Amino acid sequence: MDLLPFFQWCYSTPIGEGIRNSTWLFPVIEAFHLLGLGLTAGAVLMVDLRLLGVGLRKQPVAQLWANTQPWLLGSVTLMFASGIPLFLSESIKCLYSFAFWVKMTSLLLVLIFTFTFLRRVTQMELTSDRPRLGRVTAIVSLVLWFGVAWGGRWIGFS
Binding site for other proteins (CB under 8 A): 23-24, 27, 30-31, 34-35, 37-46, 49, 55-59, 63-64, 67-68, 70-71, 146, 149-150, 153-154, 157
Please identify, using beta-carbon distances, which residue of 94 and 155 lies nearer to other proteins: 155
Phi, psi of 143 (to 5 degrees): -65, -45
Q: Residue 121 and residue 136: Cα distance in Å, rounded?
A: 11
How many alpha carbons lie under 13 Å from residue 67 in its C-beta half-sphere?
A: 13
Q: Residue 158 and residue 106: Cα distance in Å, rounded?
A: 18
CB of 57 to other proteins, least distance (A): 7
Please identify, using beta-carbon distances, which residue of 41 and 104 lies nearer to other proteins: 41
CB of 6 to other proteins, least distance (A): 29
Please identify, using beta-carbon distances, which residue of 13 and 53 lies nearer to other proteins: 53
Please identify, using beta-carbon distances, which residue of 80 and 154 lies nearer to other proteins: 154
Question: Vertex 56, ends 51 and 62: CA angle to 5°?
Answer: 55
